[in-house]
Amino acid sequence: MRSGLYSSVARIGVILLALLVMNACTPSDNSTSETLKINNSSITRNGEIYLFRGLANVFSKGMDVIGEKMVRQGLNARVYNHSSWRGLADDIIARSKKRKVRYPVIIMGHSLGGNATMQMAKYLGDNGVKVAYAVSFDPTITTFVGANVGEVLNYYLPNTDTTNIVKKDNGFTGSLRNIDVSSVAGVTHVTVEKNNRFQTNVIQTTLALAKKRRPTPTEVADVDQR
């Protein structure tokens, strides 16, 4: 198992290095604009998938890879900076009141994006929006999930006092797994979301939840007229 001291030093190193490169990031890196460009006609499955990078967007490129793989499978997956979660959540809540959310809602993130994932899942659940699946890759703090959140998975490398696990809050009745991956060869804080086995697992679960959708009457009419 990775020592607590190594864990803390590694995270501090990542944060310091990220701060050095933040000025090199373009303004769009921290915006709420998706980084994956999707042709809506290529979306063949239900669901809204939100993927979050960590600090400065430079150490979480595995989230982009996950997103690209999902898009190729017909999923509506988009990648954001972790700081965008609250605005995105408020948009989902507003649309839910108009019945304009395409369920299931699925959220994933790495590092600070992992923190944001569980914070967003809990916030949505507290506001009556169901979250089917939430995945964090080595978050940096303890987070909580409550009512209306279904399956929760946390791949983590323990801090000294295991402060980066996900815990149940009031009303949670779903499935929660905290998986210590510190013994997996090659897995560190900056590579955990890039692990092919982990990526395959979360994508397969997402595909099982986001069933192939039926064309709307408008889409059927468009096809008939071609």
pLDDT greater at residue 215 or residue 120: 120
3-state secondary structure of 14: helix
22: pLDDT strictly greater than 80: no
CATH number attached to the domain at 4-14+28-212: 3.40.50
CB atoms within 10 A of CB 114: 32
Instruction: Write down the pLDDT at residue 38.
Output: 61
Is pLDDT at 9 greater than 50 in this prediction?
no
Question: With 80 as the cut, is the pLDDT of residue 76 above it?
Answer: yes
Question: For residue 159, is pLDDT > 90?
Answer: no
Count the Cβ atoms, other than its own, within 10 Å of residue 191. Answer: 14
- 221 pLDDT higher than 90: no
Mean pLDDT (whole number) for 81-90: 97
- Looking at residue 36, its pLDDT comes to 56
Distance spanning both ends of the chain, measured CA to CA? 60
pLDDT digits (tens, 9 = 90+) for 163-197: 899 999 999 999 999 999 999 999 999 999 999 99
Q: Over range 82-108, report the average pLDDT.
A: 97
**pLDDT of 219:** 43
Between 92-106, 156-170, 199-213, the lowest mean confidence (pLDDT) is in 156-170
Check residue 25 and give its pLDDT: 40
17 pLDDT more than 70: no
pLDDT confidence of residue 135: 98
Where does the pLDDT of residue 153 fall: very low under 50, low under 70, confident under 90, or very high at 90 and above?
A: very high
**Rounded to an integer, what distance in angstroms lies between the CA atom of residue 43 and that of residue 11?**
37
**Which segments within 85-200 are labelled E, that is strand?**
105-110, 131-137, 143-145, 149-156, 166-168, 175-180
The tokens describing 123, both together, are 């916030």
Give pLDDT, residue 160: 76
Per-residue model confidence (pLDDT) at position 11: 54
| Domain range list for the chain | 4-14+28-212
Q: How confident is the model at residue 34 (pLDDT cuts 50, 70, 90)?
A: low
Minimal CA–CA distance to 16: which of 190, 191, 192, 139?
Answer: 190
Burial status of residue 99 (CB atoms within 10 A of its CB: 0-12, 13-18, 19 or more)? exposed
What pTM value is reported for the model? 0.82
Residue 149 pLDDT exceeds 80: yes
pLDDT at 12 over 50: no
Q: Alpha carbon of 12 to those of 6, 147, 184: distances in Å?
A: 10, 33, 21
